[in-house]
Amino acid sequence: MRAGSSSGGADDVLSLPAMTRVRLCFVCLGNICRSPTAEGVFRHLVVRAGLEHALEIDSAGTGGWHVGEAPDTRSAAAAAERGIRVDGAARKFVAADFARFDYVVAMDRSNRENLRKLAPTADARAKISLLRDHDPASPPESDVPDPYYGGPHGFEEVLDLCERACEALLASVRERHGL
């Protein structure tokens, strides 16, 4: 992990230089459905915890078809029903992003495979995880299914899965970085 070394004292807490923020990027295929949803859910939890100053949150896609577009209106509407804002403009994840982020969180195994191919170093590769692997209630290697070609249920499912996994991810980031 880029952000500092072990404190050597309090177990696994990483010491961060003052003002350094922990940076996370959620990654799916198009960056219009799942990863902007995860970004919105995670930011919602971070704001609720009063930790905006400590964390930087972004999302991106491994594909470039939707670059510049707003999130899918179905994702934004489903999230708004839960009081969660999903916005931004789609962008493509590039190799240089590995240097910008401490955590690169893939929505499914295919996204993770694409990221692994793009990772320039072993350090970069070590930053990649699967979102649902952070949720202790999910079986290992579980995907957040792509809702793009399905019905409204898929967008609710994405939100349910993101809410559970993001709660767990935030808890582990807080513990790891002493936040």
Active site amino acids: 28, 34, 146
Compute and round to an integer the Cα radius of gyration of the chain: 16
C-alpha distances (whole Å) from 133 to each of 10, 60, 105, 128, 138 are: 25, 19, 10, 11, 7
Among 23, 34, 74, 164, contact with ligand 4NP (rule: CB under 6 A): 34
C-alpha distances (whole Å) from 21 to each of 39, 86, 103, 134, 148 are: 16, 22, 12, 20, 32
Q: Which stretch binds ligand 4NP (CB under 6 A): 6-14, 26-34, 115-123, 132-140?
A: 26-34
Nearer to ligand 4NP, 54 or 107 (CB): 107
Site for ligand 4NP in 36-95 (CB under 6 A): 61, 65
159 binds ligand 4NP (CB under 6 A): no
Report in angstroms how near the CB of residue 29 gets to ligand 4NP at its nearest: 3
The secondary structure of residue 128, as a DSSP letter, is: E
Distance CA 125, CA 5 (A): 18
For residue 149, count CB atoms less than 10 angstroms from its CB and return exposed for 0-12, middle for 13-18, buried for 19 or more: exposed
Distinct helix (H) and strand (E) counts, the chain: 6, 4
Report in angstroms how near the CB of residue 31 gets to ligand 4NP at its nearest: 5
Report in angstroms how near the CB of residue 112 gets to ligand 4NP at its nearest: 13
Phi then psi dihedrals of residue 110, to 5 deg: -70, -45
32 binds ligand 4NP (CB under 6 A): yes
Q: Which stretch binds ligand 4NP (CB under 6 A): 5-13, 28-36, 126-134, 168-176?
A: 28-36
28 binds ligand 4NP (CB under 6 A): yes
Residues at the contact surface with ligand 4NP, assessed by CB under 6 A: 28-34, 61, 65, 146, 148
